[in-house]
Chain A
Amino acid sequence: MLHATELLGSIAYDAQGNFVGRVRELFIEPADQPNRVARYLLGRGKYQPLVARYDQVGSVAPGTMRLNVSEKALEEYRANEGWLAVQKDLLDQQIIDTGGRKVVRVNDLDLAEHHLNGSVELRVSLADVGLTGAVGRLLQGIASYAFIRRVQGKLPTSTIPWEFVNLIEPDPLRRIKLRVSHQKLAHLHPADLADILEDLSSEERQSIIDSLDEESAAETLAELDARLRQQIVEKLDPEKAADIIEEMQPDQAADLLATLSPETSQELLEEMPQFEARDVRGLMQFGENTAGGMMNTHFIVVAESATREEVIEWIRSNDVDADQLDAVFLTDSSAKFAGVVPMGRLLLADAGQAMASLKSEPLLSLLPDAHVRDVFELFDKYNLRVLTVADDNGSPIGAITVDDVVTRLTVKARYKFK
């Protein structure tokens, strides 16, 4: 095993033992092999630098590198966007540790040696983000390699396997050339990903959101703080932004659009399909601190005369999002709100039982302009999980679920206690 920093600055000799130059940079060619050091840049002072390929290296040790070919066999260096430079792109830069779910800075890289008939390939195995790398960097050139190794041996290590390293490359073109995918990030929980994004600079955040699919992007945006969310959406291409917002819950979409400038939010609404846009527009009329501003318009309404079996059948045959299944809302023959059936009761009921007999008591609903305080009070007093919002005619127009309440309360609590 070799540290990348032990190799950088090493003296390179050719097969005849002649001095060639100093190792100035290590390149990985991710399009070819994700972790192999594919090229070594050999600086030669005032002469044109040369490049040694991975199969031209005979042996490596801290401070020295021996090639298995003569100097004449080496190519001249030409910059290549598709090469990942260890010194420039990795050392001292931030990466995302997808295993530990956080942003860290690379102090050094561990390179594993693979011997193949007469040549030695180096493969990046670990990213050193801890004290060992830091001490190594500090002592390099002051103390001997052996001494540094001895000191490092006594220190606690903190490393990330290369498979868990996700590079942050803000430039989209370069990202494609370097095969940097954010696939690993899409598998993280949106809340974890949101925490990671908060640690990055705006350009880097933007690039990650850009590369996620709409659904993951929508879920992640929903977890971010309002100010960041606004910044990100304002910078997105409007078409992409509209696609992402379309994937969000209508109440979250309305909250988000309300924070944008009127022109931007109008533009985005026009990009969205009419049906979704109408929902969101409707929600945006309500003030932020009202029941209307908290509610969601995706919910299930059935007639109170329906039987349990009919309802279950209807839910199965329709494309219903599991998130909407906290409860089923009932209306009477004149489309007025008539009660709520929690999912638990529906589950336990007999097949033929009428929905009207399953509803929770008392019958509770709020007008959309009711203050959030009233919402909190009702949830607390009756231990609710959902609450209906009904218009002036008594028809249900939205539902507030307990997670909406928790979100609001944590925001408040954060201001108060932390």
Chain B
Amino acid sequence: MAMDREKITSRTPDWRDRVNKWRQRTRGARRRLALFMAVVGPGFITSNVDNDAGGISTYSVVGATYGYALLWSLIPMTIALYVTEEMCARLGVVTGKGLSDLIREEFGFRPTFFVMVTGFLVDLGNVVAEFAGVAASMEIFHVSKYIAVPIAAFVVWILVLRGTYRQVEKIFLIACLFYVAYIISAVLARPDWLLAAKSVVIPSFQLNASYLLMLTALVGTTIAPWQFFYLQAGFVEKRVGPRQYPQARADVLVGSISCMVIVFFIIVCTGATLFVSGHRNITDAKQAAEALVPLAGRGASILFAFGLLNASLFAASILPLSTAHVICEGLGFEGGIDHKFREAPIFYWLYTILIVVGGGLVLIPGASYLKILVFSQVANGVWLPIVLIFIVLLASRRDLMGEYVNSTTFSVIAWVTCVVMIVLTIVLVLAALFPGRFGSVPGL
């Protein structure tokens, strides 16, 4: 050891100096980067998980049916996503407590209990939808769902039980990178980029029922209630404090934007191919991937399906864990993967039930993916208003937030965002429940 070092030192006598000088010079930048990297994760992961199985289906249908006509909604959606997620990040960073903790402490036992019970059912619906996504994408690769879903469920289950938060987060961050698959398949589709870019900036509005419904669906699938719990818990678990709030906010902002970037590419991909060539009647992501083969080539189709698989698996890993966590936290049971089964039985049972039942329902012969997605969509829509109202109320409390409380301007933006979100989701729920009266829900 010692000899080697001497040898190196004698050969390049000033290497140490040079390295030190370089270190000195880049110190500020390295420190800032390190500060950001220590915090990045929750916001980025959460926003990307938004693009789950249901989301991707909706986006592909939007692109196939309307081409680029709905792209303008991405900017307002980014703002809505950022505004709502930022409040949760701030709540977590300032109070150091999870969202269900805060709801329990500030609103009492019974509201918490009902939020948790609905949360469990809603998330169960979502987990089923994710496994349905796994099944659908694997069918494109000609793998039977009876093989794919059990394997996926087992991988998800083991990943969380055997991994630490940090490792799992790294895997999730890598999963975020796989969304690049959609960018590549969009490029393979050779779209008219200029037109796409114009459509983002210049709103075009059509006043007909199905267009409005499609818009509603787009917004509804992008902002899911459970993500707020996950996001806030992520910052709490990483022990991000008020001093690192600027980095946390940056993480949320980067996450919101990157989420929308992926949505953009998915819509552009199907818009440039299926819409242009007249294949406008697809109903889900699987059909989109299949229809892509003759139009953009086998590569684009495979990438599209791979993206769906990645997104479904990704969300299926996060949802059960986050749900079990939130419920235990709110109701005061021991929870978390750092505990042994004996110490936190309720946590592990909830977690296992979500995965086993979630995966199992997809395996029922003849199970309709469509119905599963509709159910999870409706459930989200029912739960979202409740959660959003709690979040805004909490973030507006000065005794809780101190100097980080919602400013008047921000409060107005937050309430407007929430009311718009709530109205849109209610419309979506009604449309899903009474398909005849409102026209069918796109993407479902």
Contacts and interface: CB of A to CB of B under 8 A. Distances in A.
13 contacts: A92-B108, A105-B104, A107-B109, A134-B331, A138-B113, A200-B96, A202-B242, A203-B95, A203-B96, A231-B239, A231-B241, A234-B243, A418-B164
Contacts of B1: 370-371, 374
A227 interface: yes
A137 B110 contact: yes
Nearest to A414: B164
A92 B101 CA distance: 9
From A91, A138, A202, A370, residue with most partner B Cβ within 10 Å: A202
A201 B164 CA distance: 21
Interface string B301-343: 0000000000000000000000000000001100000000000
Contact of A92 (B95, B104, B242, B243): B104
A137 B164 contact: no
Contacts of B139: none
Interface of A: 91-93, 104-105, 107, 129, 134, 137-138, 200-205, 227-228, 231, 234, 367, 370-371, 374, 414-415, 418
B255 to A, nearest CB: 22
Given A92-B104, A105-B332, A137 B109 contact: yes
B239 A228 contact: yes
B1 to A, nearest CB: 7
B97 interface: yes
Nearest to A139: B110
Interface of B: 1-2, 95-97, 104-105, 108-110, 112-113, 164, 166, 239, 241-243, 331-332
B96 to A, nearest CB: 3
Contacts of B241: 202, 231
B105 A138 contact: no
Contacts of B113: 134, 137-138
A92 B96 contact: no
Contacts of A137: 109-110, 113
Contacts of B243: 234
A222 B263 CA distance: 47
Nearest to A202: B96
A138 B97 contact: no
Contacts of B109: 91-92, 107, 134, 137-138
Given A93-B105, A231-B241, A414-B164, A104 B95 contact: no
A227 B165 CA distance: 15
Nearest to B107: A92
B5 to A, nearest CB: 9
Given A92-B104, A107-B332, A138-B110, A227 B239 contact: yes
B32 to A, nearest CB: 13
